[in-house]
């Protein structure tokens, strides 16, 4: 799948600006707080429930500063972690933070080159900017198709939810319909899927197990 150059350019400059403005902090990743970042990690980690004793490979797509690697280590998981990000400066920050660990590899890019046991993303589908809703939806589906073809055991992703309070919703953000995506993954990817929408943030997570 070819990812739209216009979308990638817009996304790259958005996150580069955040990094320039706020430095290597959660605000530089456009998150509100470390707590919110960590709650999202906790939801994604439901994908890995059965892997506590095992070593597995995982790609964190849109890894930012690689904080999910730190989270997994803290929780006692053993994985060969690959963090990928569009923004070269974010990848450099991630390397500085975690690159000394032989189990962590960071690459700049958007094209999945290998297969992994698991793929996760947190926060890459939220900033649609000026892109039309239908076009953004195609972009999201295109990336999910890539996850599906490059993940051997499963993948997990999050999106902002359309069940957000109207007064806080912003035009440049994409609020996905969780039921549409749940239905999509059930129909086209796997019968073993879970929709998690019970963790307070204006956000949902879908877990797909092969
Ligand atoms: C909201 S931040 C979250 C970073 C990290 N997942 C975390 O939770 O700490 C989203 C990150 O995804 C990256 N990103 C967005 N779209 C991407 C794409 N299509 N391919 C690769 N990286 C992408 C951005 O550069 C940014 O670093």
Helix axes 67-74, 88-98, angle to 10 degrees: 30
Q: Give the chain's mean pLDDT.
A: 96
Whether the Cβ atoms of residue 51 and residue 75 lie closer than 8 Å to each other: no
Nearest protein CA to atom 13 of ligand 1, as residue: 62
Q: Is 153 helix (H, G, I), strand (E, B) or coil?
A: strand
Going by pLDDT thresholds of 50, 70 and 90, the confidence category of residue 140 is very high
Give the domain extent around 121.
5-209
pTM of the model: 0.97
Mean pLDDT on 118-134: 97
d(CA 104, CA 69): 7
At 70, which helix (H) or strand (E)? helix 67-74
Between the alpha carbon of residue 72 and those of residues 18, 32, 79, the distances in Å are 25, 21, 8
Number of domains in the chain: 1
Whether the Cβ atoms of residue 107 and residue 84 lie closer than 8 Å to each other: yes
Taking only the tens place, the pLDDT of each residue in 147-186 is 999 999 999 999 999 999 999 999 999 999 999 999 999 9
pLDDT above 90: percentage of residues in the chain? 96
Taking only the tens place, the pLDDT of each residue in 19-70 is 999 999 999 999 999 999 999 999 999 999 889 889 999 999 999 999 999 9
Secondary structure of the chain: what % helix, strand, coil (to 5)?
45, 25, 30
Distance 208 CA to ligand 1 centre (A): 20
Which residues' Cβ are closer than 6 Å to ligand 1?
11, 15, 29-31, 37, 61-64, 67, 84-87, 90, 110, 122-124
Q: Which of 156, 154, 135 is nearest to 206 (CA)?
A: 156
CATH of the domain at 138: 3.40.50.150
Nearest protein CA to atom 2 of ligand 1, as residue: 29
Say yes or no to pLDDT of 2 above 80.
no
Predicted local confidence at residue 53, as pLDDT: 87
Distance 65 CA to ligand 1 centre (A): 9
Going by pLDDT thresholds of 50, 70 and 90, the confidence category of residue 130 is very high
């Amino acid at each position: 799948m070819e990812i739209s150059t216009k979308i990638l350019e817009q996304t790259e400059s958005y996150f580069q600006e955040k990094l320039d403005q706020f430095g290597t902090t959660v605000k530089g990743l456009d998150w509100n707080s470390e707590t919110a970042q960590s709650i999202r990690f906790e939801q994604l980690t439901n994908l890995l429930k059965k892997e506590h004793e095992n070593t597995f490979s995982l790609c964190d797509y849109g890894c930012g500063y690689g904080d999910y690697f730190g989270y997994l280590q803290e929780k006692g998981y053993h994985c060969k972690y690959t963090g990928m990000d569009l923004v070269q400066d974010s990848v450099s920050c991630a390397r500085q933070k975690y690159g000394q660990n032989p189990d962590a590899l960071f690459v700049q890019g958007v094209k999945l080159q290998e297969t992994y046991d698991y793929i996760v993303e947190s926060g890459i589908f939220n900033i649609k900017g000026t892109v039309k809703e239908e076009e953004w939806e195609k972009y999201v589906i295109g990336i999910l198709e890539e996850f599906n073809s490059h993940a051997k055991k499963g993948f997990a992703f999050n999106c902002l939810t359309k069940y957000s309070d109207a007064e806080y919703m912003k035009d440049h953000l994409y609020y996905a319909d969780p039921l549409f995506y749940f239905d999509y993954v059930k129909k086209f990817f796997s019968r073993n899927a879970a929709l998690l929408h019970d963790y307070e943030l204006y956000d949902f997570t879908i877990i797909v197990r092969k």
